[in-house]
Amino acid sequence: MSFSAPQPETPHDAVLRGDEATVRSWLERGGRANTARENGEATGVTLLMDAAGQGHERVADLLLQHGAQINLQSSIGGTALMFAAIDGHERVIELLLQRGAEADMQDSGGITALMFAAQEGHERVVELLLQHGAEINVQQSDGFTALMRAANNGHERVVELLLLRGADANLQDNIGGTALMCAANNGHEQVVELLLQRGAEINKQNSIAGTALMLAAAQGHLPVVLHLLQAGADTKARGATGMTALQLAKGAAKLRRGGGGMQGACALSQSMQRR
C-alpha cells in the first residue's frame, strides 16, 4: 500500500491559524509579504486578506510592517478590508483603516466593505467604516445598497444606524426595488416600520413583483401586510403581471394550502371593504 507524502506547509497555512511566530520567521528569511494563493474561483488572495478574514490582528500588523500592500485586490476584487468586514473583525478593521485601507473599493460585483458589514449585521464595523468616510449610498452592479442589504436580512440596528447617517431609503436597484421592498418581502416588520418613519415611499413599484404590499402579501407576511395597510399602502395597485396584492395573496395561499397567505388575503379583503 502506498501513501501520498504530506503536503508541505505554506505561509498561508500559518497565517490562517494565526501563527505569528512562524509567519515572522518566514518573513525574516525573505518571504514576500504579498504572496498570494487561489481560493476556489478567486486567485490573488494575499496573506493579508487571509489574516484579515480570520481576524488575526497581530499577523495582519506584522505583514503590513513587512510591506504588505493594503489595497491589493483578488481576481474578483476582494480586499483585506472586505475580508475583515464580512466576519465583523472590528480590531482588524480599525488597524486597516488606520494604515490607509480605502473604504470604498468595490469588488467585481460593485460590493464594498460597508455593504458586506451591513449585510451581516456588524453594527460596530458599519460605524467604523462610516467614521472613515465610507460612501453610504454607493450602489453595486445590480443597484443594491448597504441599506438594502441590511433591510433584506432584517438587521434592525444597522438599518437604523444607516438611516441616521444619511442612507437614502428610496434609492432603487436595477429592477426598481427599494429597501422597503426587501424588508417587506422577508417579513421584517420592525425594519419596515423604521423605513416608513424615515420617509420610505410606500407605493413605489419594481418592474417584476410590484409594491412592498404585494411582496409581503404574496409571501404571507401578515404583520407586515397589516402594517403597510395602516400606513396607507395602495391595495388597488397592480404589478407587472396585472395582479393586485389581494390576488397575489390568494394565489400564494392556494399554493401553501392555507396558513399565513390566506390570513394575509383575508386582511387585505377586509381592508378593501372598509375603503
pLDDT, tens digit, for every residue of 125-145? 999 999 999 999 999 999 999
Q: How far is Cα 70 from Cα 34, in angstroms, rounded to an integer?
A: 9
Per residue in 81-126, pLDDT tens? Answer: 999 999 999 999 999 999 999 999 999 999 999 999 999 999 999 9
Structural domains in the chain, sorted by start: 8-105 (1.25.40.20), 178-275 (1.25.40.20)
- pTM (global) more than 0.75: yes
Mean pLDDT on 201-210: 94
